[in-house]
Amino acid sequence: MTQCERIMNYINIFGSINPAQAMGDLGVYRLAARINDLRKQGYKIESKIVPGTNRFGETVHHAVYRMVE
């Protein structure tokens, strides 16, 4: 199974994916690149930048990807 296939399966099961989930659950380290590949294949995927907290308690921002309905 390709990384793109794993990402699509993950989104179909859980509704969305972020870089930490892609790394931890799927072993995909370049999620944005794979999302770009999927978009080129015709998938309608939206991204939303959301705030979070890193291990030092600092505010950081990351993308969450989901299929457009």
What tens digit of pLDDT does each residue of 20-69 get?
999 999 999 999 999 999 999 999 999 999 999 999 999 999 999 999 98
pLDDT, residue 15, reads 98
Sign for the pseudo-dihedral over CA of 9, 11, 14, 18? positive
Which DSSP string do the residues of 11-60 spell out, in sequence order? HHHHS-B-HHHIIIII--S-HHHHHHHHHHTT--EEEEEEEEE-TTS-EE
The pLDDT value recorded for residue 69 is 81
- The mean pLDDT of 9-25, rounded to a whole number, is 97
Helical packing angle, 3-14 and 31-40, nearest 10°: 90
pTM of the model: 0.91
Counting the structural domains of the chain, the total is 1
Domain that holds residue 20: 3-67
